[in-house]
Each structure stands twice: as structure tokens, then as C-alpha cells.
Chains A and B, each alone.
Chain A
Amino acid sequence: MSKNKKNIDIYSASHSQLIWMNFKKHKLAMTAAGVLIAIYIVSIFCGFFSPMDPQEYSQMRTYQPPQRIRFFDEEGFNFRPFVYGYQGSRDMETLRRIYEIDKSKKFPIYFFVEGYEYKLLGLFETNIHFFGTKDGYLHLLGTDSMGRDVFSRILYGGRISTSIGFIGVIISFFLGITLGGIAGLYGGIVDNIIQRIIELIRSIPKIPLWMGLSAALPSSWSPLKVYAGIVAILALIAWTGLARIVRSKFLSLKNEDFVVLARLSGASESRLIIKHMVPAFLSHIIASLTLNIPQMIISETSLSFLGIGLRPPVISWGVLLQTAQSIKTVALAPWLLTPGVAVIVTVLAFNFVGDGLRDAADPYSTGR
């Protein structure tokens, strides 16, 4: 009975319902989608989730190792988790700061605790944080060369890094679908020109080209302008792949039976495109967009890491990794590499979701 019901569903389900059904079967992609949603929520509300002020520095706590969350102290189990403070001192030979756990300083962790002031979504001023300590400090992933909290900085970096991928992809989506559509629909000279442009852009190695373009952004620009400039540069190069897909889809669909029939029945050109052709490959486009976002994130990270992308005081994962450029620093403070873990997890999640979408995008295909 239940099997029968499912069959009926398949026959009457809409295109998007079918895609969703296929996608749901993909366990890895579903998990990855959950991870992505979590990453974006944390990034959007980074002020709320970060226990420390990302710009607050302290000379007394430079390169402090991560503090472990503990439940047990000398007296046994504590219901409320806590961290120990560190006793910092300076090694007189190497002049480095060295830290020892100081069990007399015990900072319990509270939820919805009052901390530094920030603006939720950039609008509402508040000082409530998801978790944190009432007094003392909490550096879950240690501190950097200026004693700033790496964990909070990763959350703030996520806001920039993940949004760059998103906005960049939206721009390249419009460029790709317009130019690819024009090339595929009208053919002829226009097609030829667009094809040559795509070929040209693709034949120049990306990173040297990116480097050249982003180095040309004036250093006097405000961080916001640089952000926009980097997004534009990334999108300017990324649209080509999409345009190619759109073009080939239009070319192959143009002579499909259902399109010819619609044309014969007197459908207008715009109706043909919007109603009949675009829905037939929209899912493919979305899948390849999803696979494009991680590449943009990696590109931004690489550029900022090299020092020609975003610049401090803007916080992005690439900017954070810039502090880990010297191997001596990394050996001294390996936790400075943790922003890279954030990059890898995000990119992996996007890749899994993209793969799942690509497999689900063609719900009418048989097999697999």
C-alpha cells in the first residue's frame, strides 16, 4: 500500500518535488547541507556566537594556547563547564611569552551571558552572547600575535568569507546566464565573439590574473570598496564556466521536441525561454553554482593570504591565515592554522551538497 502511494507521488510530483526527493536520499549531501546552514547561521549572527571581542587585544596574552573546556576540577565533577586561566610570563632567553595553567583562576562558562557590546545584524545594539564567561577570558582556540581571540575572529571571518562566495556566485550567475543564453540562442557572430572571450579568459592562469587585478586595487580604498572589488574580480573570471553550460543547454534544447512543439503552437520567444527552456536546466545551473561557491572561497582565502586580497582590519579567513605565513610562528602557535580548518570544512560541505544536487538535478534519468 505504502509503495503504491509512493509511486503515485512520483507520477504526479512536480519537478522540484522530484529533485527534493532524490536529494533527500543522498545522506552525505543532507548532512553537508545541515552543516552549511549551521555555518551560515553562525556567520550571520557572529557577534552573538562569539564569546570575545574580535578586535580586543592584550599584550599580556599574546600567542596564548587554547583553553580546554573542563567539567572536572580537584573536587570532582562540576555541572557547569569551566576553563582555567593561564599564568603568562616571559622567557628571558627567547623573549617569548610562556604560559602555564593557573588552577586558582577558574572561569565558569554561562549561556546567554553579558559580554562586549555589538550590533546584531548590524542593527540592534546588545551585549548578550550565546556563551561566555562573566569575568576573565575565554580563548577556545588560543590567541594571535596581538592577543586577540582566534575563535571569535574565525566566526567574524566566516561572515566575510562565506558571503564573498555567495555574492560572487550571484554576479557570475547573471553574467553567465545572460551571455551564455545570448550565445546559445542567437548563434552566429555573437556566439563566436562570446565563445572567444570565454576561451581567452580561461586560457590565462587564474591566480596570476587574479593577483594582477587585485594588486591594481588602490590601497587607499576603504575596506568595503576592496571587498566589492575582490568580489567583482572573482566573479569576472568565474562566469565563463557557467556561460558554457548555459550555452550548450540552449543549443541542445532548441531543437527538442517539446520546444519545437511549443514554438509551433505559437508561444512567444520569451515564453519559450522562461517557461519551457530555463526550467529544464535550472537545476543543473544551481548545482554548478553550488560547486562554484567553494572555489570562490578558496580563491579569496588564497588572495588574502598572499596579502593582495582583503586587508586588515577586515577579518576574513584568508586575512587570519596571513598571520600563519611564517613557519616559525606556526611552530610556535599551531592554533593559528585553525581558520584553515574552517575553510576546509565549508568547502567540503559545499562540494558534497553540490554533488548531491548534481545527481538529483536530473530526476527523470533512469538508473543510479
Chain B
Amino acid sequence: MAKFIIKRMINIIPLLILISIISFAIIQLPPGDFISSYIARLQQMGEMVGPEQAEQLRNRYGLDQPVYVQYLKWMKGVLTGDFGFSFDWQQPVSEVIGERLALTLVLTLSTTIFVWIVGFLIGLYSATHQYSIGDYIVTFFGFIGLATPNFMLALILMWIAYAYFGQNVGGLFSPEYLSAPWSIGRVIDLIKHLWIPVIITGTAGTAGLIRIFRANLLDELGKPYVATARAKGLSELKLIFKYPVRIALIPFVATVGWTLPKLISSATITSVVLSLPTAGPVLLRALQNQDMFLAGSFILLLSVLTVVGTLISDILLAWVDPRISYN
């Protein structure tokens, strides 16, 4: 087992390097360099920037050097925690990112837990009550959940809350806690606000998991050993939980690998609509304003988060299902 974990971790290293190259490529993609767009913006605001100043800026960020040198410079910074400078925010990238990434993580993790618990319970119900009214209702909402884009759901919920309850459901904090330092009160406030984005982000994932779990459990429940156990008089509850649920759960664990990238993806859009203080809105703004160090760092860190999550799910899977070979 330890060998397997180490091997997986070593495997991840080239993947991380490639991801960093892609993130850097995205920084480089827009036509012209970001210094030009930065200067253009400065000039728009009425500041005078001479050509020598522009040259100075280019020098400072190594833009006169070949691309691979720039990449290595950036990577060297990233490894020491220096992600470059955000022109839009006039702050080091790491300061802009810090809390937002942490909140993204909180949102994604809570959504994962939500998706799992709800997916498990509803899947269990609809598999054991196949073709009942409840099953049909669940299946119907599952399909709707899969078909509705996240931002639509967010918009509709916000609209209902605004039009009928006069509430604004955006954001993660009440105004009084918005820029307050961390305290127990702020954490409680966060939890109070978190459930709406969690539900919106998690809907599609939950719907997907319900379908998978229901199908798996139904397959398992149709097997002869279940019939045998039932014939021998095992109680229905024990019958379901002893083996079928455990076996049906295995692919469930396997899905964490793809659940995480999906959740991070949908959290990005949801947080733009709900204007949450997470990565989404800042990433969007950074991309629109060509604040490329910020955008690249976000893409890099979100991807790393995903890869690490996938690694954890792989290890979990190997631990849950001993039949998986460690090679």
C-alpha cells in the first residue's frame, strides 16, 4: 500500500509540471504582452507612461528574455510562494489569492460532502423503492438537475429570494463580517451563507451520483445472493447494508476523481453569479482585464487542487476496494 501511494505521488510530478506549462501558456496567449495592456489602461486613466518606463517594466518582468526563461522565472517564484504581481489589484498575486482560494476550498469540500450524503441517501431510497412515485419524482428532478446550467439555477434562486422574500442571497458573509478578521462569529456567519452556493453547485453532481448509485445498487439487488439472503429470512435493512450497499459504493468512491474537477468548475460559475468572494469572480475579471499573472496562478492552483484531490480519491479507492491491484 505504501508503495502504491509513493508510486502515485511520483507519477503526479510530471503531470504537475505539464499543468504549470499550460497555465503559463495561457498567460502568454493573449496577443501583445500584458505590459502593453497595462500601459494602455494607465494612459486611459490619464497617467503618462513614456517608452523608457515601459522598457523598464518589461525588464523588470523579464519580458525581453526568451519564453522559457520567463517560464522558469515564474516557476521559481511560484515554488517560493511568489506568484508575480497583479496589475489590476496593485498587489502581489499571493495576497489576492490567499483567502479566496481557501474559501473556494471550503465551498468545494462542503459541496462534496453535501453531494455525497444527499446522493447516497436519495440513491438508496430510489433503488429500494424502484418504480414508486418517490422514485419517479427523484428521477425527474435528477434529470432537471443535470440539464440545468448552474448559473441558471443560481439566477432563479436569487430571483425567487429577491422577488418573494426581499432577500439578497449573494455573497458568503453578512455586511458586518465582510472585512472583519476571522472569529467564531464570522465562521458561523459563513456557514449560514454557505448552504445556498453549496446546493446550487452540488445539484448537477448530486443528480449524477444518484443515477450511478441507483443503477449500481439495482444491479446488486438483483443478484442471486441477495435472493438467497432474503429467502433465509435476513431482515431487509441488514440485507441491504451488509453487502449490496458496500459493493455499490465502490464506483461511488471512484467518481470522486471526476467529481472534484466538476465541482471546482461549477463553483467558478456559481460564484460569479452569486458574487462570492471565491476564485471565480476574480479569475473572470483577471481574464477580462488581461491581468495574466493572477489568471494563470488561479488556473494553476485550481488544477493542482484537482490533481491532489484525484490522488486522494485514488488512494481512498485502493483502500476501500482491496481487489484493485496496486500495480
Enumerate chain A residues within 8 angstroms of B262, measured Cβ to Cβ: 205-206
A351 touches B303 (CB 8 A): no
- A347–B145 CA distance with the chains assembled, in angstroms: 11
A305 touches B283 (CB 8 A): no
Within 8 Å of chain B (Cβ to Cβ): is A344? yes
Quick one: closest A residue to B149, CB to CB?
Answer: A298
Within 8 A of B (CB), among A198-213: 199-200, 202-209, 211-213
Which of A294, A301, A327 contacts B162 (CB under 8 A)? A327
Enumerate chain A residues within 8 angstroms of B159, measured Cβ to Cβ: 327, 330-331, 334, 337
Contact with B along A241-263 (1 / 0, CB 8 A): 00000000000000000000000
Within 8 Å of chain A (Cβ to Cβ): is B317? no
Within 8 Å of chain B (Cβ to Cβ): is A324? yes
- A306–B300 CA distance with the chains assembled, in angstroms: 21
A203 touches B266 (CB 8 A): no
With A204-B261, A327-B162 known as contacts, the answer to whether A301 contacts B26 (CB < 8 A) is: no
- A214–B258 CA distance with the chains assembled, in angstroms: 23
- A207–B296 CA distance with the chains assembled, in angstroms: 14
Enumerate chain B residues within 8 angstroms of A196, measured Cβ to Cβ: 14-15
A343 touches B283 (CB 8 A): no
Enumerate chain B residues within 8 angstroms of A334, measured Cβ to Cβ: 159, 163
Enumerate chain B residues within 8 angstroms of A37, measured Cβ to Cβ: none
* Chief secondary structure at chain A's binding surface: helix
Enumerate chain B residues within 8 angstroms of A340, measured Cβ to Cβ: 148-149, 152, 155-156
B155 touches A308 (CB 8 A): no
Within 8 Å of chain A (Cβ to Cβ): is B120? no
Quick one: closest A residue to B261, CB to CB?
Answer: A205
- A76–B168 CA distance with the chains assembled, in angstroms: 45
Quick one: closest A residue to B298, CB to CB?
Answer: A208
Enumerate chain B residues within 8 angstroms of A321, measured Cβ to Cβ: 151-152, 155
B146 touches A351 (CB 8 A): yes
B148 touches A206 (CB 8 A): no
Contact with B along A172-216 (1 / 0, CB 8 A): 000000000000000000000000100110111111110111011
- A308–B310 CA distance with the chains assembled, in angstroms: 28
A305 touches B151 (CB 8 A): yes
B265 touches A208 (CB 8 A): yes
Within 8 A of B (CB), among A290-322: 294, 298, 301-302, 305-308, 321
B26 touches A213 (CB 8 A): yes
A203 touches B30 (CB 8 A): no
Enumerate chain A residues within 8 angstroms of B307, measured Cβ to Cβ: 203
Within 8 Å of chain A (Cβ to Cβ): is B44? no
Enumerate chain A residues within 8 angstroms of B273, measured Cβ to Cβ: 325
With A212-B295, A351-B147 known as contacts, the answer to whether A306 contacts B152 (CB < 8 A) is: no
**Chain B: minimal CB distance from A111 (Å):** 32
With A206-B261, A213-B29 known as contacts, the answer to whether A351 contacts B143 (CB < 8 A) is: yes
A205 touches B268 (CB 8 A): yes
Enumerate chain A residues within 8 angstroms of B250, measured Cβ to Cβ: none
- A325–B298 CA distance with the chains assembled, in angstroms: 24
- A54–B93 CA distance with the chains assembled, in angstroms: 43
Within 8 A of B (CB), among A251-300: 294, 298
A200 touches B19 (CB 8 A): yes
Within 8 Å of chain B (Cβ to Cβ): is A348? yes
Quick one: closest A residue to B273, CB to CB?
Answer: A325
Within 8 Å of chain A (Cβ to Cβ): is B254? no
- A305–B272 CA distance with the chains assembled, in angstroms: 10
Within 8 Å of chain B (Cβ to Cβ): is A218? yes
Within 8 Å of chain A (Cβ to Cβ): is B111? no
A348 touches B265 (CB 8 A): no
B29 touches A307 (CB 8 A): no
**Chain B: minimal CB distance from A225 (Å):** 13
Enumerate chain B residues within 8 angstroms of A351, measured Cβ to Cβ: 143, 146-147
Enumerate chain A residues within 8 angstroms of B26, measured Cβ to Cβ: 209, 212-213, 216
Contact with B along A215-228 (1 / 0, CB 8 A): 11010000000000
- A334–B102 CA distance with the chains assembled, in angstroms: 35
Within 8 Å of chain A (Cβ to Cβ): is B269? yes
B288 touches A205 (CB 8 A): no
B287 touches A215 (CB 8 A): yes
Residue with the highest number of chain B CB atoms closer than 10 Å, among A294, A308, A340:
A340
- A344–B153 CA distance with the chains assembled, in angstroms: 11
Q: What is A's interface to B at a CB cutoff of 8 Å?
A: 196, 199-200, 202-209, 211-213, 215-216, 218, 294, 298, 301-302, 305-308, 321, 324-325, 327-328, 330-331, 334, 337, 340, 343-344, 347-348, 351-352
**CB-defined A-B contacts under 8 Å, sample of 22:** A202-B261, A203-B15, A203-B310, A204-B299, A205-B262, A206-B261, A207-B269, A208-B299, A209-B22, A213-B26, A215-B290, A215-B295, A216-B26, A302-B149, A327-B159, A331-B162, A340-B152, A343-B149, A344-B147, A344-B148, A347-B148, A348-B143
Q: Lowest 10 A-B CB distances belong to which pairs?
A: A216-B29, A215-B287, A207-B265, A212-B26, A347-B147, A205-B264, A348-B147, A340-B152, A204-B303, A205-B265
6 new A-B contacts, CB < 8 A, other than A205-B265, A208-B298, A331-B163, are: A205-B262, A213-B26, A308-B284, A344-B147, A347-B146, A351-B143
